[in-house]
Structure 1
């Protein structure tokens, strides 16, 4: 199959860089919190999506934060590897999404009535999941290899329910919980508990936890694409 050529629109909205790719018209609007320091990430994710869902229409909106640990962490937490702590500015990022990013996309592309989804990998995956508990904007969440080991997330997820009817895709690499880091080793059990809680959540329409081969850094683009494909099933 010949791969469709990617045409990325670059723009800045309230100091945050957007990379926007449109595939046809209609379909979901996929907001994706992306890693700021790796080149070719948008193209890699696009190619993975085209392999799994080549006929699906969608609008992909990648938003590029400046500081991963600061901008995607829901609250302050100590460092678990290295020396960089988590500054807990996720609320500021979500505020930008709700007040700047989403309205700009809705207005510019006339997609206000289409489904809005939020996807992320690692800490951005946790941010996507946390956002579903904090706002009612997104009807689909893809939390891939999410950092559910994050301090006090186990308490948070037990005390909250989704804000709206929503489908949630969780995934994890089989080797991710097999680490010598005691904090990060909790990710397997916490992700299993997260699935259980979501299955009991009255607003959760569909929930799945998919296990992938490999560790945390294996095929992030493909894992994200699998999550989006699952959200598309039975919907489009």
Structure 2
């Protein structure tokens, strides 16, 4: 359906208090796993490398700010917002969480934290939320000199964020394409279990 001028998959209840933005290739299994009252919005992403990259890099269009502008245009103060994603969707979600206090929860599953400039941006984040990070144990075992940094960068992200956030880092079995649906589902389960601090 068209939601605020953009093609999206919408699940749940648009009158809910909790709104979720999710960036994943197929959110069906995630939606089926959720028990809370929510509105789940999965924007259709046609070019992941361009639309989900927060700034330009070699091979990446850096059009994240355009997607950011659209997301902000849909938001209002009457809802609690969670943002979640896998791979570049996880990178984009963390970037958005760091820029906007409206997001009380963030899930970055196998996030592309090897992205050039990520660590510099990380150290500008100064806010509190519930943040879930996960990465497959084999994901950093690659000959690609850029992508092999994902393990250390994810650990550094956790070590920085845990100082001010309710944050967890989970090492998953396998590589980048091992059970992505289940990794996302585990992230949502943990975030919902820990979000009570915002709803008291």
- Normalised TM-score (structure 1): 0.77
1:43 is matched with: 28
Match of 1:31 in 2: 21
Partner residue, 1:199:
162
Partner of 1:71: 51
Over aligned residue pairs, what C-alpha RMSD do you find?
1.9
How many equivalent residue pairs? 196
Equivalent residue, structure 2, for 1:6: none
Whole-angstrom distance in 2 between the partners of 1:197 and 1:219: 27
For residues 126-165 of structure 1, the aligned pairs below 5 Å read 126-158=91-123, 160-162=124-126, 164-165=127-128
Question: Which secondary structure state, in structure 1, belongs to the residue aligned with residue 183 of structure 2?
Answer: helix
* Bigger radius of gyration among the two: 1
Q: For structure 2, which runs of at least 5 residues remain unmatched after alignment?
A: none
Deviation at 1:228, TM superposition (A): 0.9
Matched, 1:222 2:182: yes
Q: 1:123 aligned to 2:88?
A: yes
Cα distance in 2 for residues equivalent to 1:178 and 1:211: 14
* Stretches of structure 1 lacking an aligned partner (at least 5 in a row): 1-9, 36-40, 79-84, 104-111
Q: Determine helix, strand or coil for the equivalent of 1:179.
A: coil
Partner in structure 1 of residue 192 of structure 2: 232
Which range is displaced more, 23-32 or 60-69?
Answer: 23-32
Shift of residue 134, structure 1, vs aligned partner = 1.6
Report if the CA contact (8 A) 2:12-2:38 is conserved: yes
Cα distance in 2 for residues equivalent to 1:208 and 1:141: 11
Tell me which stretches of 4 or more aligned residues in structure 1 moved more than 3 Å: 23-27
Residue 40 of structure 2 is aligned to residue 94 of structure 1 = no
